[in-house]
Amino acid sequence: MITFKKAGNLLDEKTDALVNTVNCLGVMGKGIALQFKQAFPENYSQYKSACDKKEVKIGKMFVVHSNNLFQPQYIINFPTKINWIHPSKIEYIETGLDDLIRVIEKNKIKSITIPPLGCGNGGLNWNEVKELMLEKLSLLNDKIEILIYEPSHSPNAKDIPISTKKPDLTPIKTALIYLIKIYKDPGYGLTKLEIQKLMYFLQETGEYLKLQYKKGNFGPYANNLNHLLESMEGHYLTGFGDRTESTNISILEINIPNILSLIQMNPKIYHNTLKVKSLIEGYETPYGLELLSTVHWLYAHENIHEINKIKTAISQWSTRKKILFNERHITKAFNTLKNNQFI
Phi and psi angles of residue 251, each rounded to the nearest 5 degrees, phi first = -90, 135
**Containing H/E element for 240?**
none
Distance CA 33, CA 230 (A): 13
List of residues 6+ apart from 112 with CB closer than 8 A: 15, 16, 17, 18, 19, 76, 104, 144, 145, 146, 147
- What DSSP state is assigned to residue 82? S
Q: Looking at the predicted structure, is the pLDDT value of residue 154 above 80? A: no
Q: Looking at the predicted structure, is the pLDDT value of residue 157 above 80? A: no
> In a 3-state reduction of DSSP, which class is residue 195?
helix
List of residues 6+ apart from 179 with CB closer than 8 A: 195, 198, 199, 202, 273, 276, 277
- What DSSP state is assigned to residue 120? G
pLDDT of residue 6: 86
Give the residue among 186, 201, 204, 153 at the shortest CA–CA distance from 282.
186
Looking at the DSSP assignment, which residues form a beta bridge with residue 102?
none
DSSP letters for 125-136: -HHHHHHHHHHH
Per residue in 283-309, pLDDT tens?
999 999 999 999 999 999 999 999 999
Distance CA 61, CA 76 (A): 6
**Containing H/E element for 19?**
strand 17-22
The 10 Å CB-count burial string (b at 16+, else e) for 118-154 is bbbbbebeeeebbebbeebbeebeeebebbbbeeeeb
The span from the first CA to the last CA of the chain, in angstroms, equals 65
Count H helices and E strands in the chain, helices first: 13, 10
Per residue in 65-123, pLDDT tens?
987 766 799 999 999 999 888 899 999 999 999 999 999 999 999 999 999 999 988 88
List of residues 6+ apart from 145 with CB closer than 8 A: 1, 3, 15, 110, 111, 112
User: Which residues have a catalytic role annotated?
Assistant: 81
Distance CA 60, CA 171 (A): 42
CB 15 within 8 A of CB 72: yes
CB 118 within 8 A of CB 78: no
Per residue in 257-277, pLDDT tens?
688 888 999 999 999 999 999
pTM higher than 0.85: no
Per residue in 273-285, pLDDT tens?
999 999 999 999 9
Per residue in 28-44, pLDDT tens?
887 888 889 888 999 99
Look over the chain and give the mean of its residue pLDDT values, rounded to a whole number: 91
- Domains annotated for the chain, with CATH where assigned, are 2-159 (3.40.220.10), 171-339 (no CATH)
